[in-house]
């Protein structure tokens, strides 16, 4: 990876959380309908994507405020690719999120959440095991 080669610095955990949350939210908006779990169909928004592009721009501005450069770059590159029709698809969703990216983001968020809960439980267990005189 680029981090191992020394080209990129590792992402701060808080910025990683935000990036994973953004792309997982996009995935959870799109894929339940795609899998037939609901009648609500956000995929059709991608064929006339002006409102979606505005929403993505607002999200990108929020990410700029949070200084999450990688997430902003990912959203910007996807939007530019859609603008220049790099893929044969006419749908903005096809440029914005990929099924593998969606699975990775959801899985990584789940893993981070499990790790957070585990560490918190272990911390409470350790503090409960300490005698009152050592606190």
Report the Cα–Cα distance between both ends of the chain, in Å, rounded: 44
More confident residue, 38 or 109: 109
- Mean model confidence pLDDT for the chain: 88
pLDDT band (50, 70, 90) for residue 81: very high
17: nearest Cα among 112, 115, 119: 112
CB neighbour list of residue 127: distance below 8 Å, 6 or more residues apart: 135
Average pLDDT over residues 58-81: 94
CA dist 41 and 64 (Å) reads 29
């Amino acid at each position: 990876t680029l981090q191992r080669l020394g080209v990129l610095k590792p992402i701060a955990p808080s910025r990683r959380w935000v990036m994973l949350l953004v792309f997982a939210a996009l995935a959870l908006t799109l894929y339940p309908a795609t899998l037939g779990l609901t009648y609500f169909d956000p995929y059709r928004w991608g064929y006339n994507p002006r409102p979606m592009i505005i929403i993505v721009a607002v999200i990108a501005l929020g990410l700029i405020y949070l200084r999450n450069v990688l997430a902003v770059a990912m959203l910007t590159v996807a939007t530019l690719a859609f603008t220049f029709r790099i893929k044969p698809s006419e749908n903005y969703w096809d440029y914005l999120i990929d099924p593998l990216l969606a699975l990775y983001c959801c899985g990584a968020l789940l893993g981070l959440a499990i790790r957070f809960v585990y560490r918190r439980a272990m911390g409470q267990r350790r503090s409960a095991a300490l005698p009152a005189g050592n606190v």
